[in-house]
Amino acid sequence: MSADHGRMCPVCALAMTRATIDDRDACEICERCKGILMARQAFAERLTAQRRDARTPSVVPTRVDRGELQRHIDCPNCKGKMLTDWYYGPGNIIIDTCPPCDLVWLDAGEFRRAVDAPGPDRRS
């Protein structure tokens, strides 16, 4: 991870750090809240790849605070309101998306929860 700064975190309002996931897809990470901003397609591809290559036992996700569905954050790219909704894949997580920018915001640990959740597409 480099010290190259990206857009402002939609939760902390600090400059995020540009990084890559699996040395392949670009993302931005907030050093304070540990949230991740990435393209929707990169999210889908990295999640699929990491679930397929998983070598650790799956973990049944814990309950999510439904109150998170009520929050509203602004897209770090266009400043429009992101859509907050359930992610209907593995992990029992709530994600924020910006359809016009095709970006996804994941709070700390949400990507890992989706990777680790049980399912037939997961190796372990």
pLDDT in tens, the chain (124 residues): 345 778 999 999 999 999 999 999 999 999 999 999 999 999 999 999 999 999 999 999 988 888 889 999 999 999 999 999 999 999 999 999 999 999 999 999 999 999 999 999 987 6
User: How is the chain split into domains, by residue range?
Assistant: 1-64+85-96+103-124
This prediction has a pTM of 0.90
Q: What is the pLDDT of residue 5?
A: 77
Q: What is the pLDDT of residue 1?
A: 38
| 84 close to 65: Cβ distance less than 8 angstroms | no
Contacts of 18 (CB under 8 A, 6+ apart): 2, 4, 5, 6, 26, 27, 28
Q: Which structure tokens are listed for 93?
A: 């997580």
Q: What is the pLDDT of residue 98?
A: 98
DSSP state of 74: B
